[in-house]
Amino acid sequence: MEKTLRNEPGIFDWTTVIQAVCDMEGKGTTEEEKREKLKKTVTKTMKCDVTKSNPVAPLMLPRVDCIMAIACLESACKDLDSYCNALKNISSLLKDFMRSDITNTGYAIIDLEVLARKYDKEQYNICDHDSTIFVLACKLRDI
């Protein structure tokens, strides 16, 4: 992500992901416009381990409004249980109004889209998923 924000070539091409977000938003924003907005909006990137209860340990950070976990959980989790646990772990980083796990119905799913992966042999060796799920959800209640 850092390389993308600096316009440097990286191992992962974010173009498809950014375009899918633009399409889902339905505002007519181009991939390039969204990329430029990201560069202005994202103030910091950091490493995290979604398998830890505090994914950014040893840091203790204020909770945030938004977390981007694109291909993160899929790459770090070997099964459904570890995926759900990782989702719970990263949810702990969100502000109170976004704390509940999607899977525990604390959120209402407004939009869910599955984007079939365009296979690139080099990227497939890194992460062997066949699609990406984009979820837009609204919090209903605290759990």
The helix (H) or strand (E) run that includes residue 134 is strand 131-139
Together in a domain, 39 and 51: no
Q: The domain containing residue 83 runs over which residues?
A: 46-143
Based on the fold, state whether residues 39 and 60 are members of the same structural domain: no
Taken in order 112, 30, 17, 51, is the CA torsion positive or negative? negative
- Residue 138: beta bridge partners? 108
* Overall domain count for the chain: 2
List per-block mean pLDDT (blocks of 10 residues) for the chain, which spans 143 residues: 75 80 86 87 84 91 76 83 87 62 63 68 59 71 54
Map residue 112 onto helix, strand or coil.
strand
Clarify whether residues 37 and 95 are in a common domain: no
Tokens of 52: 């830890």
CB 132 within 8 Å of CB 115: yes
- CATH code of the domain covering residue 134: 3.40.50.150
Structure tokens at 130: 């066949």
The verdict on 110 and 139 lying in the same domain is yes
For residues 70 and 4, state if they share a domain: no
Residue 100: what pLDDT? 44
Model pLDDT, residue 143 = 46
40 and 65 fall within a common domain: no
What is the pLDDT at residue 15?
83
Task: For 141, list phi and psi in degrees, rounded to 5.
Answer: -160, 160
Cβ atoms 137, 109 nearer than 8 A: yes
pLDDT for the residue numbered 51: 92
Same domain membership, residue 81 and residue 133: yes
